[in-house]
Structure 1
Amino acid sequence: MKASEIVWHNEESVRFMQSLSKLSEEEWRRPLGPGKWTIAEVAGHFAPWDRFILERRLPYLIVGDPMPEGPGADELNAGSARNSRERSRDETIDEFVSVRRQLITALRDLPDGDWSRDFQIGKSRMTLGHYFAGMIEHDEHHFRQIRQALESE
Structure 2
Amino acid sequence: MEGKVEMLAKPDDTLKQFANFLTWVGELRQTGQNLWLVPISAGKWSLREILTHMMHWDKNSLEMMVPLMTEGAQLFFVDIEKHNQEAAVWAQSYQTLDALIDDVIEARQQLLELLDEEYDHTTTFTIDNEDYTYQKFVHVFIHHDEHHRKQIEAFLVQEKVTQD
- Does TM, normalized by the shorter one, top 0.5? yes
Gaps of 5+ in 1: none
Name the TM-score, length of structure 1 as normaliser: 0.87
Residue of structure 1 in register with 2:162 after alignment:
none
The correspondence for 1:144, drawn from 123, 143, 150, is: 150
The letter of the residue matching 1:116 is T
Q: 1:32 to 1:83 in 2, by over 3 A?
A: same
d(CA) in 2 for partners of 1:43, 1:142: 9
The correspondence for 1:31, drawn from 39, 42, 46, is: 39
d(CA) in 1 for partners of 2:27, 2:101: 9
The correspondence for 2:69, drawn from 61, 81, 92, is: 61
RMSD: 1.9
Matches within 5 A, 1:1-153: 4-62=12-70, 64-67=72-75, 69-87=76-94, 88-110=96-118, 114-153=120-159
Query: How far is the alpha carbon of 1:63 from its aligned partner?
Result: 6.5
d(CA) in 1 for partners of 2:31, 2:15: 26
Q: Report percent identity of matched pairs.
A: 26
SS in 2 for 1:119: strand
The letter of the residue matching 1:10 is F
By percentage of residues, which structure has more helix? 1
Consecutive aligned runs of 4 or more in structure 1 exceeding 6 Å deviation:
none
Task: Say which structure, 1 or 2, has more relative contact order (CA 8 Å, 6+ apart).
Answer: 1
Query: How far is the alpha carbon of 1:85 from its aligned partner?
Result: 2.8
Describe the superposition over 1:25-65 as per-residue Cα deviations: whole angstroms up to 9, x where unpaired: 22111222111111111011112111111121111114754
d(CA) in 2 for partners of 1:3, 1:35: 41
Task: Give the aligned length.
Answer: 149
Contact 1:18 1:93 in 2 (8 A): yes
Contact 1:32 1:38 in 2 (8 A): yes
Q: 1:149 to 1:103 in 2, by over 3 A?
A: same
